[in-house]
Amino acid sequence: MFNDLSRLGKYLGQAARLMVGMPDYDNYVEHMQTKHPDKPVMSYEMFFRERQEARYGGKGGPKCC
């Protein structure tokens, strides 16, 4: 039961972050490790800056999948 509640809490937190435009670093890391193991993973600070630039800065940011 607690495992299900924990999983539900994780998904609700992820949904809330996405609703306010805050990307999920953990999902990014998991994606990079499974889909692009040969590429380096950005630090949280670099990831956050890159996502801000992609959303507000108009640089276009790197495209993926």
pLDDT digits (tens, 9 = 90+) for 5-64: 888 888 888 788 777 767 788 889 999 999 999 999 999 999 988 888 887 876 555 666
| Domain-wise residue ranges, the chain | 23-65
pLDDT of 28-41, one tens digit each?
999 999 999 999 99
Query: How high is the pLDDT of residue 20?
Result: 74
The model's pTM: 0.59
SS (H, E, C) 1-44: CHHHHHHHHHHHHHHHHHHCCCCCHHHHHHHHHHHCCCCCCCCH
